[in-house]
């Protein structure tokens, strides 16, 4: 009897643990405006800017400080298989990122949690 009770409790506990690990997807609409903040580390993890060598090869200026405080809007979004929301962002002032890139991608929930993006 104890074994049966133990097995049932293990299944219930495991089911609750799996349900708790699911990420909460943020509801998003096209045109939502965010602000890019300074990253906590030395580089961005969840806003997917191109690498510096790629920016330089395309003739741009690889200065990440130029994007601090810039407002961006959501152009497109998609939900990944892992439960994340991947958004495509463009600047609201119409200029390009690093003089060459019209849009950049970001993982929305992670970027908001890390403070790289704010509403």
pTM for this entry: 0.71
Query: Cα–Cα distance between 91 and 69 in angstroms, integer?
Result: 11
Q: Give φ, ψ of 45 to 5 degrees.
A: -105, -35
Residue 20 has pLDDT above 50, yes or no: no
| pLDDT at 106 (0 to 100) | 93
Query: Cα–Cα distance between 47 and 87 in angstroms, integer?
Result: 9
Q: Where are the domains of the chain?
A: 2-118
Look up residue 79 and give its two tokens: 């939900």
For the stretch 91-104, pLDDT in tens is 999 899 998 899 99
For the stretch 54-104, pLDDT in tens is 999 998 888 888 889 999 999 999 988 888 899 999 999 989 999 889 999
Place of tokens 């690498």: 51
Q: Which residues touch 93 (CB under 8 Å, ≥6 apart)?
A: 70, 71
């Amino acid at each position: 009897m104890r074994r049966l009770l133990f097995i049932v409790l293990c299944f219930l506990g495991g089911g609750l643990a799996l349900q708790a690990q699911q990420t909460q997807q943020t509801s998003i609409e096209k045109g939502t405006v965010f602000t890019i903040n300074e990253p906590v580390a030395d580089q961005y993890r969840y806003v997917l800017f191109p690498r510096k060598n790629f920016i330089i090869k395309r003739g741009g200026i690889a200065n990440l400080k130029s994007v601090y405080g810039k407002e961006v809007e959501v152009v497109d979004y998609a939900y990944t298989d892992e439960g994340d929301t991947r958004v495509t962002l463009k600047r609201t002032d119409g200029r390009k990122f690093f003089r060459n890139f019209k849009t950049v991608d970001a993982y929305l929930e992670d970027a908001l949690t890390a403070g790289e993006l704010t509403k």
